[in-house]
Amino acid sequence: MANPEPIIIYPDTNILVSYSLGEKDKNFELAERLFQDVENGKYRMIISNFALMETLHALRAIITRIKYQELEDRLSQRDLIEIANSEEFTNVVNEESMKAFKTIIDKITSDSQHFSFEPNGMAYSGEMFSRGLQLLLATKGSFRVYRFRCQKCDSFLRCSNCNVNSEIVYKEANAPDLIHLFISELLQCKTFFTMDKYFASIPLKDQRIKVEVLAK
Amino acid sequence: MISEPQRLFSSLWSSIRESVTSALFPSNLLHPIETISLYIPAKLEENVALKADVLLKQTILRPIMEPKDHYQRLYLRSLVGLPTIPKAGADLASVRDLKGCISWVSKSKIDVTELIREIRDS
């Protein structure tokens, strides 16, 4: 008996980047399980230009943070400004992120069996944004309290002026999340896969696409 | 209605065009190529066509891949400065090769989902 046609799915940017990072990402096993299903022919992934744009930006942000963490301790703001403005720092971040991005593009474009791409010149209707606004109006989001952390060494911090060590943050699926969802619908995907828990709270009434949040 | 001078000019022009065409492109011009093609084995012809472009080969062999998808691959590869023809045999192994292909970017563990969340929220 012939194998059934693979189900067309849309991977969120976090899944694509996580799998490419491998063991270096905290949630890699979740992405790996999904990719095993892709490899086995259960699913076929369609990659949008929007996800690729976000992938490139995420890589630049990751590498900038890593390069910052690798700097020596006790640098003043003046020292950091000098480093940030230096040609060397700019070149390292740009070259490494581009190398990483090219590697991902090379792998996914070489594999016509498991990956498809959004066709060039695809038109997006304004209705998409109108629906997005309606959805955001119907949500209330949630509030989280986060402790201040040093981005360099991950230690907890306290404000020297207010003497507080945490902040209240508004958390909710946002415009880029909804754009991903609507693009996946336009690309006629059956399921949208993400590792971001905030997708679970999007009140999708018409269920044009199934959203699956991968969690441990 | 076409006037007499127009008719004369048209017939003169047509005979000039015919003589120039026959001088430049004799009727037996393609004859040697047609003769050679009779002796090219069908297998060789097939191989040349398939090896001309690996991506084209994939389009032919896999009806699931639409031409638009094929052009988008070429476009994406050229956009980032990659050769349009991937390494031979890269096709089937690529989904496996994608796993951890950029792990060199970091020495320690990172939370990509959280970082992308931060980007979307900022």
Mean pLDDT of all residues in A193-205: 89
Task: Say whether residue A141 is in contact with chain B using an 8 A CB cutoff.
Answer: no
pLDDT class of B40 with cuts at 50, 70, 90 = low
**A27 with B113: Cβ contact below 8 A:** yes
Q: Which of B113, B115, B117 to probe the A interface (max A CBs under 10 A)?
A: B113
| pLDDT value, residue B61 | 43
For residue A27, list chain B residues with Cβ-Cβ distance below 8 A: 111-113
**A104 with B98: Cβ contact below 8 A:** yes
A178 close to A156: Cβ distance less than 8 angstroms: no
**Residue A23 to chain B, least CA–CA distance (Å):** 7
Eight-state DSSP code of residue A74: S
Mean pLDDT of all residues in A76-92: 97
Q: Give the global pTM.
A: 0.77
pLDDT class of A123 with cuts at 50, 70, 90 = confident
**Residue B33 to chain A, least CA–CA distance (Å):** 36
Mean pLDDT of all residues in B78-85: 90
Give bridge partners of residue B89 from the DSSP assignment. Answer: none
Neighbours of B57 (CB within 10 A): 16
Spatial separation of the C-alpha atoms in residues B10 and A32, rounded to whole Å: 74
**A111 with B91: Cβ contact below 8 A:** yes
Task: Say whether residue A118 is in contact with chain B using an 8 A CB cutoff.
Answer: yes
Mean pLDDT of all residues in A9-31: 97
**A113 with B62: Cβ contact below 8 A:** yes
Mean pLDDT of all residues in B14-40: 68
Please write the tens of the pLDDT for every residue from A104-120.
999 999 998 899 999 88
Is the pLDDT at A103 greater than 60, yes or no? yes
Which of A67, A45, A65, A63 is CA-nearest to residue A55? Answer: A63
Please write the tens of the pLDDT for every residue from A144-161.
999 999 999 999 999 999
Q: Which of A24, A26, A64, A92 to probe the B interface (max B CBs under 10 A)?
A: A24
Per-position DSSP letters for A124-147, written without gaps between them:
--THHHHHHHHHHHT---EEEEEE
**B101 with A20: Cβ contact below 8 A:** yes
Mean pLDDT of all residues in A37-61: 96
| Residue matched to tokens 């060199």 | B104
Eight-state DSSP code of residue A156: B
Strand ranges (E), chain A: 7-11, 43-47, 115-117, 142-147, 166-171, 191-194, 210-213
**B92 with A66: Cβ contact below 8 A:** no
**Residue A72 to chain B, least CA–CA distance (Å):** 16
Eight-state DSSP code of residue A4: P
Amino acid identity, position B118: E
Q: Which residues have C-beta within 8 Å of that of residue B66, sequence separation ≥ 6?
A: none
| pLDDT value, residue A64 | 96
Residue pairs between chains A and B whose CB atoms are closer than 8 Å = 166
Is the pLDDT at B48 greater than 80, yes or no? no
Is the pLDDT at B80 greater than 50, yes or no? yes
| Residue matched to tokens 């998409």 | A128
Is the pLDDT at B95 greater than 70, yes or no? yes
Highest-scoring range by mean pLDDT, A161-170, A198-207, B16-25, B90-99: A161-170
| pLDDT value, residue B39 | 62
| pLDDT value, residue B60 | 44
Average pLDDT, chain B: 74
Rounded (5°) CA angle B98-B99-B103: 100
Q: Which of residues 37-96 of A touch B (CB under 8 A)?
A: 38-39, 52, 54, 57-59, 61-63, 65-66, 69, 96
For residue B83, list chain A residues with Cβ-Cβ distance below 8 A: none
Spatial separation of the C-alpha atoms in residues A87 and A69, rounded to whole Å: 18
Mean pLDDT of all residues in A56-69: 96
Per-position DSSP letters for A151-181, written without gaps between them:
TTT--B---TTT---EEEEEE---HHHHHHH
pLDDT class of B23 with cuts at 50, 70, 90 = confident
| pLDDT value, residue A180 | 96
Strand ranges (E), A32-111: 43-47
pLDDT class of B62 with cuts at 50, 70, 90 = very low
